[in-house]
Amino acid sequence: MKISDFLSAANVTVGAVLSSKQELLEEMARKAALAVNMPLDRILSELLKRETLGSTGVGGGVALPHARFPEIDKPLGILFRLKKPIVFDAVDEKPVDTAFLLLLPEASDPLGALAGIARKLRDKAVMAALRRARDSAEVYRILTAD
């Protein structure tokens, strides 16, 4: 599965000004709720439930919040690049400036989409390019390039 299969250019936000993990998850859930026509509270609740299992802050300034829903039939990705990093309880204890939300159908294998985006965001050259990108269109091009 390619990133462009579940991420659209419209779902990339650059320069978001948010001050906490909670606020970031709320904003991402708000955008996702509109995209999949689901209640914001339902999405946010599942994201927060997943965070109680362990932080989705994977290190290197990156978080990969995710949840599964029976109501959706295909994966949805949303990326936020923050203006200033925030505390996210990441595994490396460093703040997060890039978060990629992934909503998955309940019946799907989450590893394909999650592994693909994790691989891309662990690449130091990709992350350096994402952090230099001036706008969401440039971020989208970088993420979806093969």
Based on the residue annotation, tell me whether 76 is a catalytic residue of this protein.
Answer: no
What is the per-residue pLDDT across 90-141, written as a single tens digit (0 to 9) for each? 999 999 999 999 999 987 665 678 888 989 999 999 999 999 999 999 999 9
Strand partners of residue 79: 12, 100
pLDDT at residue number 146: 75
Residues in the chain: 146
Question: Which position among 21, 66, 81, 120 bears the catalytic label?
Answer: 66
pLDDT at residue number 2: 87
The pTM for the full model equals 0.94
**Interacting residues of 18 by C-beta distance below 8 A, sequence separation 6+:** 24, 27, 80, 82, 86
Give percent above pLDDT 90 in the chain. Answer: 86
- The overall average pLDDT reported for the chain is 94
Report how many domains make up the chain: 1
Containing structural domain, residue 60: 3-144
**Interacting residues of 26 by C-beta distance below 8 A, sequence separation 6+:** 40, 44
Domain CATH number, residue 31: 3.40.930.10
